[in-house]
Amino acid sequence: MHSVKVFLLVLLSALLTAPLSAQVQSVGVAGDGEFTRITITSETPIRPDIFLRETEDGMIIEMVPNDFRLTHQPFFAEPTGGIFAYTLDTDRIVFELDRPMMIMREIDLPPSGNERLYRYILDLSGVSETRFRTAAQRDEKRFARFEADRSSSAMPAPVQVADIAPQPESPSTKPASFGALMQMAARQRKVIVIDPGHGGRDPGALAIIGGKESDVVLKTSLKLKRMIEQDPRYLVKLTRETDIYVEHEDRVTMARNWGADLFISVHADAAGAPTVSGASVYTISTRGEARIDGTAKKYGWELPFEDGTSEEVSDILQDLTVRETKSNSSIFAEFLVPELGQAGPLLRNTHRQKNLFVLLAPDVPAVLVEIGFLTNTSDARRLKSERGRRKSAEAIKRAIDAYFDRQDLLLATN
């Protein structure tokens, strides 16, 4: 009981002394400048005022969260497309833009499920300089008024106990450490399974400049794995990490046994004509879909229905699952295509359907990505280079983020 008393004491003293301010836990930026997303997590809602501004230093987005305070160093992802830097001040966050962008939408998500933090999401999209300038001029007046109001009402607000949301999950009044954040994220980690195509006795396509598909896709997959591992939101598994042959059905079985939330098979293409180049993404075709049930039965990929579920009901549930899985696979493919376009050329009709065995799991959204043509000199050089590998991996990682961000949004709004 002693510890409970101590805890209450700590909590009470915290109520009396702690400022009721938004503790920013992380800042993340993802996207390419055509579409860029800022995500800020915090322990209390940040409800910021936002201003597009054109200053001597260039175009910026200045965000002044309601009673924002930084008492520790939050962690943030490296800035990417559209935003080249950002700084956290004592009472605001400034994002420096490398191209004109405007706010498309603003989303405020309360904690839900395992997500203990508030998430504030700002979606930006690329616009012309003229449009940015018009908006910035309008915001400049608003900004001046805002700053004037703030300095005149700089009196500290009285502490009202009723304002303090109960936080049963965070008895410690210290800001969450990075370790604690990692632990929190680990509880709801998404499992990503990367499947480097071919291997061992099956080299896959041969590169026009020398080398084989099985090596190229393994190196890219390992790079992607390391990239995903940096992100506490995910757990990543590879169906092979060395040059070995793995049966197709074993690749799918592994993914299902690991509880995969997403399966990405990585391949490189070959064509008769050396001029054909570009990346493409495959999801299951209608013909492939027709053999899911039979294949699932044969390899024991049945869905975990409760005992006593009638055959009719389980058939319906199975159908629904297969349909939802197919739809999620397509959604991921649609996120992936524009990202791959940032990493290199795209094959025409980039999102295609095919009857591919590794895409047959009834309940794991799956795509097969062909990262380029090894029979095309320029693609082959790109795929075999360190820089090209990094770009392909980054593209896939951004699509993974976009896909799961969307899922989080759907969960939060339902």
Binding site for Zn ion (CB under 5 A): 197, 204, 267
Looking at residue 102, its amino acid is M
Q: Name residue 62's beta-bridge partners.
A: 51, 94
Those residues with Cβ within 8 angstroms of residue 234's Cβ, 6 or more apart along the chain or in another chain: 189, 190, 191, 192, 228, 400
Instruction: Identify whether the C-beta of residue 22 lies closer than 8 Å to the C-beta of residue 119.
Output: no
List the one residue out of 67, 58, 147 whose CA is nearest residue 101: 58
Phi and psi torsions of 181, nearest 5°: -65, -40
- The CB-of-366 to Zn ion minimum distance in angstroms stands at 15
- The CB-of-184 to Zn ion minimum distance in angstroms stands at 38
- The CB-of-213 to Zn ion minimum distance in angstroms stands at 5
Those residues with Cβ within 8 angstroms of residue 186's Cβ, 6 or more apart along the chain or in another chain: 232, 235
- The CB-of-320 to Zn ion minimum distance in angstroms stands at 31
Nearer to Zn ion, 79 or 197 (CB): 197
- The CB-of-25 to Zn ion minimum distance in angstroms stands at 41
| DSSP state letters, 23-56 | EEEEEEEEEBSSEEEEEEEESS----EEEEEEET
Nearer to Zn ion, 81 or 204 (CB): 204
Chain position whose Cβ is nearest to Zn ion? 267
| C-alpha span between 372 and 388 (Å, rounded) | 11
List the one residue out of 223, 216, 196, 262 whose CA is nearest residue 399: 262
Nearer to Zn ion, 39 or 392 (CB): 392
Nearer to Zn ion, 215 or 363 (CB): 215
Nearer to Zn ion, 216 or 260 (CB): 216
Nearer to Zn ion, 100 or 204 (CB): 204
| C-alpha span between 45 and 22 (Å, rounded) | 6
- The CB-of-64 to Zn ion minimum distance in angstroms stands at 51
- The CB-of-198 to Zn ion minimum distance in angstroms stands at 6
Nearer to Zn ion, 100 or 197 (CB): 197
Phi and psi torsions of 313, nearest 5°: -65, -45
